[in-house]
Structure 1
Amino acid sequence: MRHDDIWRALDSLAAENGLSPSGLARRAGLDPTAFNPSKRVGPDGRARWPSTESIAKVLAATGAGIEAFSSLVSGSATLPSQSRGGRGVVRRVPLIGLAQAGSEGYFDDGGFPVGGSWDEISLPEIGDPNAYALEISGDSMSPVFRDGDVVIVSPAAPIRRGDRVVLRTRAGEVMAKELRRQSAKRIEVASLNPAHPDYSFDLQDVAWMHRILWSSQ
């Protein structure tokens, strides 16, 4: 378990509840600056870890269990199947095929789903109001994502190296890949299936990149 993994889990939990890190801290009854990036490293450059008390308050405030938080630490996502009142919460999210996603009329310039051409599926509640579902086509991400799998994608979720993402180029090409590296000028993504190539793009050639939170497997 690494320092970055803990903070990423808190960032992801915030995003999945439609909150910023400051909003998550406030909801948990903590100082709003408690989870700010500036608080994650001390003046001497040493890593600062959130306290177990802070994490416990966050879990209580969001209704997430320790198992769900552990999944986020490991890089997965938590899609809570129950509300804090104990009843299942179902939400309908837009769904299209990955091959369709490059067509006009499905996303705005910021990469958010728009228009009335989407199909819909029902899923447990997820915090990002702009989350959407894509049906995978092809085998470039096999065996993690197979042809026909449905993935849930969040424009709001933070992304770091090693996350599975959906990326759209300004030329209209859409792909599901793993983020290998992102610098100030370039983005490098990889296919998990070694039979397919990896890609490297100038940052200016990428329209948007969103994190995959969950798959139907």
Structure 2
Amino acid sequence: MQTASTAEMCKFAHMDDYQRRIREQVQELLARTGMDATGLARAAGLAPSTLTRFLNDPDVKHSLSGKTMQKLIDAASAGGAPAIPTPPGKSEVRPAPDAPVPVLAEMKRDVPVFGTARGANGDGAFVLDMSEVVDWVRRPPGLIGVRDVYALWVEGDSMEPAISHGDLVYLHPKRPIHPGDRVVIVRREGLEDQHVTMRAYVKQFVRRAGGKVITRQFNPDKEVEFAQDEVVSMHKVLSMADMMGV
């Protein structure tokens, strides 16, 4: 695999951490499939400029949404279009023999998607029902054999542009959480009709301090604090690297 030149690294030095991570993950997909950006975009049903501009334009302001990344992963997993012939004198990038790209049909649809409903208090909260499985989705290659993985359809836009309303996110309750990780926090919020209300929030974990869990959201950009004794659970939203096993 070719490494980025110093000039190229400087070219994208202004990108924020999220953009850099997404760019690296797309480059990994390209390397695993042997495709170029135009071929992968077309295989995913996207306009080629969606990917080429994100990868090549140092002044790009947007990132790729979770929905777009899922389309790229699905296209890469399915094999997509054949790689464009490599020009003479340049090395051809192909998946390693011991790391084949899984065929989409071979990825088991055995990850449960639990029910969610938009909250009414306007703070990005949603009601999470862990007793209701509303769908089953495919298991990414990096999660084969991993227990307790589940998924959610995100409600709300408080984490845009990193995570958008309607995005599918995968979570694991036992993965360690570090500052900067995206998380789903479930908080106990009093009694309603003799039942404890559990509200869930998608945020970025910052730190624990003074009996509080301190998080960040992006839309609008601000810190959000949760009392530690009200937090029922905090599960990591798995990154593309987690899901691809890289």
CA radius of gyration, larger in: 2
1:78-125 CA-to-partner distances (Å, cap 9, x unmatched) read xxx69x684545232011354377355x1xxxxxxxx45331111324
Cα gap change, 1:128 to 1:155, in 2 (>3 Å): farther
Q: Is 1:181 equivalent to 2:207 in the alignment? A: yes
Runs of 4+ in 1 over 6 A off after TM superposition: none
Cα gap change, 1:116 to 1:136, in 2 (>3 Å): closer
Indicate the residue corresponding to 1:121 in structure 2: 137
Within the candidate set 135, 138, 143, 2:156 is matched to 138
- Cα distance in structure 2, aligned partners of 1:204 and 1:119: 32
Structure of higher RCO (CA pairs closer than 8 Å, 6+ residues apart): 1
Indicate the residue corresponding to 2:167 in structure 1: 149
TM alignment of 1:1-217, pairs within 5 A = 86=100, 88=103, 90-91=107-108, 92-99=110-117, 102-104=127-129, 106=130, 115=131, 117-125=133-141, 126=143, 127-171=145-189, 172-183=198-209, 185-194=211-220, 198-214=223-239
Indicate the residue corresponding to 1:11 in structure 2: none
Letter in 2 for 1:204: D
Q: Aligned residue pairs: how many?
A: 132
SS across alignment from 2:155: coil
- Cα distance in structure 2, aligned partners of 1:169 and 1:200: 11
- Could you tell me how far 1:192 is from its partner in structure 2? 1.3
1:118-172 CA-to-partner distances (Å, cap 9, x unmatched) read 3111132405311111111211000011111101111111101111000000221
**Contact 1:98–1:175 (Cα < 8 Å) also in 2:** no
- Cα distance in structure 2, aligned partners of 1:184 and 1:129: 33
Structure (1/2) with the larger strand percentage: 2
**Contact 2:115–2:132 (Cα < 8 Å) also in 1:** no
Q: CA RMSD in A?
A: 3.6
Q: Which runs of 5+ in 1 are unaligned?
A: 1-66, 69-80, 107-114
Letter in 1 for 2:140: P
SS across alignment from 2:239: strand
Indicate the residue corresponding to 1:33 in structure 2: none
- Could you tell me how far 1:183 is from its partner in structure 2? 3.3
Instruction: Percent identity, please.
Output: 29
Structure (1/2) with the larger helix percentage: 2
Could you tell which deviates more after superposition, 150-159 or 121-130? 121-130
SS across alignment from 1:191: strand
- Cα distance in structure 1, aligned partners of 2:209 and 2:160: 26
**Contact 2:128–2:200 (Cα < 8 Å) also in 1:** no
